Each structure stands twice: as C-alpha cells, then as structure tokens.
C-alpha cells in the first residue's frame, strides 16, 4: 500500500511539472528591428545622444520630456513600456550585457543583408557580404516551415526594405513576401492594384495608405507604419501561422543622425508589439498557442559612431533576442552566457516542434523552454 501511495504521489508530482512547462507554439509572430541597439532596449534613452543638439534637430525639449528619467528602469519603461511590463514579466529578454548576457552576430560584416541571412538561415555564409547581394542561395527557416505539413501557404512576410525579398529568396520558394510598393491581393502579391473584392476593408485601406506616405528614405524603403498596417490587416483576415514583420525605421533614422526620430521608432515598434499581442490574446485562432519573437539584424556604434555600423564600427555585432508566449518559459532578463544570432533560426523552428534542417550547417537553438 505504501509503495502504491508513493508511486501515486510521484505520478501526480510529475504530472504537475508537465502541466507547468510551456506548451509548444502552434503559431509565431516574428519582428525584426533593423539596427536598434541593445542599449536603448535595456537602458532607455542614451544621455550622451539625447542631450546633444546635433542629434536632436527637431524638438529636443519634447524628446527629453518624453523619454528621459534619471532612473534606468523608468527610462527604459518610458521608451518601450510593453517590453518592460508584459514581455519581461511573462517572457524572456536576452542581451543585457550589464547582466553578463551577450547576444551577438557570428558574421564579420555587421550590416543588414548578412545579419538577416545569418539569423533566418541559422548559418554564417561568408559569401553573403553585401546589401546588394542577389537571391540568397541558403535555405531560410521560414521556407523550411512553409514546406511542413499544415504550414503551406500559411507563412507570410511584410518588410519595409525591398532587399528582404532577395534575402528570403521568394523567387525560389514563392512565399508571400510583401515589400515596398507592393499591394496585397486576395491570393498574394501584385505590383499594382489589388483584387479588392477578396480583401477586408482594413486590407484595402492599408494597401492605399502605403502609397500616400512620403519616400523619406529613398526608393526601396517604406515607413514601418505602412508595413505594420498591411501585416496586421493580413493577420486578422488570413490567420497565417507564421508572420514575419521586418521593420526598418530605427536603422534609417540612425543613419540620418536623427536620435529623436530613432527613439520614436523604437517607441512605435513597442506599440506594434503590444497591438499584435492584444490581437493574439483576443483571437481564438491565436490565443494561448502563439509565440512572439523580437530581434535585430545587427547592432551599431556608440557616442559619435552611433549613426553607423559595420565591421569598422565597434559594438555593431551586439544584438538581443526577446520571446513571449506559447513555448516560452517566463525567465525575465537572462543573466550570464553567450548566444549567437545564427541560433535564432533553429529556435524559431523549435518553438513549433520542428527541427530545422538544410543543405548547409544549422546552428543549434537556444534554451528558451
């Protein structure tokens, strides 16, 4: 009898442990923040840049009032309130170097195409060495997922930068990769008018709005507000199982030396995370079975070099990784250890219970369960 009772207690204890571990995700939403530094994410506005009038040419007093506080926790909450309320409490944040946790790119170039390729392919290919590089020969995790049972036609990308079509090689895999200047139709992409009859009202308006915004960054790049509006409308209407939203404003405003707008871009991105999470939590298709991830493609310099990145600009290899939702243990800020951006791809697949395989090597995933 005692042995039976002991077995029963052990069985129940084991069952409780299983129940407490996070279930695998059935769906994913992935955000990339081009060139957004870990410093602003984990420390809030940088005083050395915030109080430099050279980098705040529009309304520095307003920017200071909006984002500055002497206390680092207040400062980072002012800049990214959703990250520092919901994500830190319910998910995990990797990359705070003040806590000894380092996330960094493996590639030696430290700029956009190689950074995205490494993170999404799980592989550092030294031949991928230019933002003008043609269609990526390496397999990315999104196309791998799209080929798995239950995912065909249910993986979608919306990107502010047109090079993402080459990075993900949509010519090869025919996935939905929406970029600058392209409308969404009922069946996918078109370079011109959409098939309005098959779209929701929100999708029709999002298509139209993108053409009303100024091309302030030049040809090939649209503002993130347009990219997000199109992605969110598609998510609500089509219920993709994997949605990748590639944001470019932080990097573009940084290159322009406009620190106030760079901070605004980070703040707006945080609002996008919140909006998508609220959609996830309110939609039965996504609620309780969806994870959300956030990471950049590279870092950037400090002090006067904050506008730049690349192999000659120190700290451009420093990144981060945020996770929330199904399959993600609530760890808060991770302390100690080193991980690499090439580990993101296997982590993405692993959240869905998949093992990412390709003809090239794939780095192992991160321990986020």
> What's the rounded Cα separation, in Å, for the pair 255 and 99?
28
Distances (CA, A) of 301 to 99, 181, 239, 324: 20, 31, 38, 28
Residue 262 CB partners (closer than 8 Å, separation 6+): 40, 250, 253, 254
> What's the rounded Cα separation, in Å, for the pair 257 and 278?
33
Q: Are 107 and 348 in contact (CB under 8 A)?
A: no
pLDDT digits (tens, 9 = 90+) for 103-156: 999 999 999 999 999 999 999 999 999 999 999 999 999 999 999 999 999 999
| Confidence band for 197, pLDDT divided at 50, 70 and 90 | low
pTM of the model: 0.92
**Radius of gyration (Cα) for the chain, nearest Å?**
21
Model confidence at 195: pLDDT above 50? no
Model confidence at 66: pLDDT above 70? yes
Residues in the chain: 369
pLDDT digits (tens, 9 = 90+) for 310-329: 999 999 999 999 999 999 99
Listing DSSP states for 195-225 in one string gives -GGGS-HHHHHHHHHHTTS--TT-TTB--HH
Domains of the chain listed by start with CATH number: 26-351 (3.40.720.10)
> What's the rounded Cα separation, in Å, for the pair 97 and 162?
32
- Rounded mean pLDDT of the chain? 91
Model confidence at 11: pLDDT above 50? no
Residue 13 CB partners (closer than 8 Å, separation 6+): none
Share of the chain above pLDDT 90, in %: 86
Phi, psi for residue 210 in degrees, rounded to 5: -60, -30
Q: Which residues pair with 247 in a beta bridge?
A: 33
pLDDT digits (tens, 9 = 90+) for 47-60: 999 999 889 876 78
- DSSP 8-class letter at 22: P
Give me the pLDDT at residue 281, please. Answer: 98
Alpha-carbon dihedral 255, 232, 140, 352, rounded to 10 degrees: 130
Give me the pLDDT at residue 190, please. Answer: 42
Tokens standing for residue 169? 């090689």
Give me the pLDDT at residue 212, please. Answer: 95
> What's the rounded Cα separation, in Å, for the pair 221 and 206?
16
Model confidence at 34: pLDDT above 60? yes
Over range 230-258, report the average pLDDT: 97
């Amino acid at each position: 009898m005692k042995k039976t009772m002991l077995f029963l207690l052990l069985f129940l204890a084991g069952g409780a442990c299983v129940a407490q571990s996070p279930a695998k995700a059935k769906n994913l939403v992935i955000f990339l923040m081009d060139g957004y530094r870990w410093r602003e994410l984990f420390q809030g506005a940088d005083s050395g840049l915030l109080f430099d009038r050279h980098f705040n040419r529009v309304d520095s007093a307003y920017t200071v009032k909006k984002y500055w506080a002497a206390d680092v926790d207040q400062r980072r909450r002012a800049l990214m309130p959703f990250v520092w309320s919901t994500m830190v409490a319910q998910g995990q944040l990797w990359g705070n170097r003040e806590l000894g946790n380092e996330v960094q790119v493996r590639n030696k170039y430290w700029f956009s195409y190689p950074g995205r390729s490494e993170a999404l392919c799980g592989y550092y290919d030294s031949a991928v060495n230019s933002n003008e590089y043609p269609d990526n020969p390496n397999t990315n995790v999104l196309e791998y997922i799209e080929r798995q049972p239950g995912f065909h036609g249910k993986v979608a990308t919306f990107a502010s930068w047109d090079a993402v079509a080459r990075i993900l090689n949509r010519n090869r895999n025919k996935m939905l990769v929406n970029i600058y200047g392209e409308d969404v139709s009922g069946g996918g992409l078109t370079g011109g008018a959409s098939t309005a009859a098959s779209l929701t009202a929100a999708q029709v308006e999002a298509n139209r709005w993108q053409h009303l915004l100024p091309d302030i960054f030049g040809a090939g790049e649209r503002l993130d507000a347009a990219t997000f509006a199109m992605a969110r409308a598609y998510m609500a209407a089509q219920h993709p199982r994997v949605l990748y939203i590639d944001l470019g404003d932080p990097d573009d405003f940084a290159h322009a030396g406009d620190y106030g707008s760079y901070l605004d871009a980070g703040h707006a991105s945080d609002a996008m995370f919140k909006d998508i999470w609220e959609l996830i939590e309110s939609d039965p298709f996504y609620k309780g079975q969806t994870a959300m991830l956030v990471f950049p493609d590279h870092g950037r310099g400090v002090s006067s070099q904050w506008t730049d990145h690349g192999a000659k600009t120190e700290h451009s290899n420093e990144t981060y990784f945020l996770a929330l939702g199904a399959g993600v243990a609530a760890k808060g800020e991770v302390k100690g250890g080193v991980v690499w951006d090439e580990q993101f791809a296997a982590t993405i697949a692993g959240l869905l219970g998949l093992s990412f395989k390709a003809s090239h090597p794939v780095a192992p995933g991160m321990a986020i369960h």
